[in-house]
Amino acid sequence: MSGLSAGLVPGLNRMRPAVRLEALALPIRQALERAGPLGARAILFEARGELTPAKLSGTGRRELAALARSRQLEIAGIACGLRRGLAHPDDLERRMDHVRQVIDLATDLGTNRVVLEAGPVGDPQSEECSHLARLLADLASVAVKRGVVLALPTGLESGADLAALLEKLDSEGVGAAFDPAAQITGGFAPTGDLADLANHLALVVAADGRRARAGRSAERLSVGAGEIDWLTMLENLRDTGYTGWLVVDGDNDNSDSACDGLVSLVRLMGLAGV
């Protein structure tokens, strides 16, 4: 799946900064106004509330795309959150249909990334993992026809386990949304996990984190505020050949963290020459 990264931004050989809209904690129009001056070239948003496929009519989709373009912003992707893991037996077909609708929404909005929160992979040799793989293969076939890649977030398992699932699928329609902060807070090793997932990168989330310590819970933080050496991480990403979006996310308790993280990321990208 070596084409995943290059396919995100055809003709470009540099990474580009984006921001998750919800992390700015502002209404849509104000968030779009805020993103560009901070250095973002695109936004990613979650398909929920007024931005669900059911709520966004054809006119609403055209208006949203035009509003982003008027702020010189692209749409880097859409996050598709699920209340349960994709493979949970309850309401399975409803969830599958929702993902298909989000794929259609992505196509209508001119983006080719859907961040699908499919749930834990589990043991790559287990029947549960095989069941998840079958469901993902079904959705990936839909995504490929629409020119979309489903990006599975990291953080629930090691990079090696997620890579094993992606290699089993062997589809251009599914890859990894690499989130080094989630790897840190999940107790994994971001540098090694990046190496394991190097051929499967569909999108990268830019955030920081601290591991749990005695008497202290793990923390998700803005870029530069945690344990990750983001300058080295950017250089490592460049070495993989990744040329896609770096989507800034903040912590859940501080709406300023995404702004701080975006400014820090843009500065570090300049230093790293990516």
Please name which of 189, 262, 193 lies closest in space to residue 222, comparing C-alpha atoms: 262
For the segment 26-37, what is each residue's pLDDT rounded down to a tens digit?
999 999 999 999
Q: Is the per-residue pLDDT at 12 higher than 70? A: no
Percent of the chain with pLDDT over 90: 88
> What is the reported pLDDT for 10?
41
Q: Is the per-residue pLDDT at 163 higher than 80? A: yes
> What is the reported pLDDT for 8?
41
Q: Is the per-residue pLDDT at 255 higher than 80? A: no
- What is the domain extent for residue 113? 3-272
Mean pLDDT of 130-141: 97
Better-predicted residue by pLDDT, 3 or 174: 174
Q: Are strands 74-80 and 113-116 parallel, antiparallel or unpaired?
A: parallel
Which 3-state string (H, E, C) describes the chain? CCHHHHHHCCCCCCCEEEEEHHHHCCCHHHHHHHHHHHCCCEEEEECCHHHCCCCCCHHHHHHHHHHHHHCCCEEEEEEECCCCCCCCCCCHHHHHHHHHHHHHHHHHCCCCEEEECCCCCCCCCCHHHHHHHHHHHHHHHHHHHHCCEEEEECCCCCHHHHHHHHHHHCCCCEEEEECHHHHHHCCCCHHHHHHHHHHHEEEEEECEEECCECCECCEEECCCCCCCCHHHHHHHHHHHCCCCEEEECCCCCCCHHHHHHHHHHHHHHHHHCC
Q: Is the per-residue pLDDT at 94 higher than 60? A: yes
Residue 124's pLDDT band, with cuts at 50, 70 and 90, is confident
For the segment 215-237, what is each residue's pLDDT rounded down to a tens digit?
889 999 999 999 999 999 999 99
Residue 250's pLDDT band, with cuts at 50, 70 and 90, is confident
Q: What whole-number distance in Å separates Cα of residue 221 and Cα of residue 79?
A: 20
Domain total for the chain? Answer: 1
> What is the reported pLDDT for 115?
98
Q: Is the per-residue pLDDT at 186 higher than 70? A: yes
The average confidence (pLDDT) of the chain is 93
Q: Is the per-residue pLDDT at 247 higher than 50? A: yes
For the segment 42-67, what is each residue's pLDDT rounded down to a tens digit?
999 999 999 999 999 999 999 999 99
Q: Which residues contact 267 (CB under 8 A, 6 or more apart)?
A: none
Q: Is the per-residue pLDDT at 13 higher than 70? A: no
> What is the reported pLDDT for 4?
58
Q: What whole-number distance in Å separates Cα of residue 192 and Cα of residue 198?
A: 10
What is the domain-level CATH number for residue 94?
Answer: 3.20.20.150
> What is the reported pLDDT for 269?
97
Both tokens of 186, joined, read 């999940």
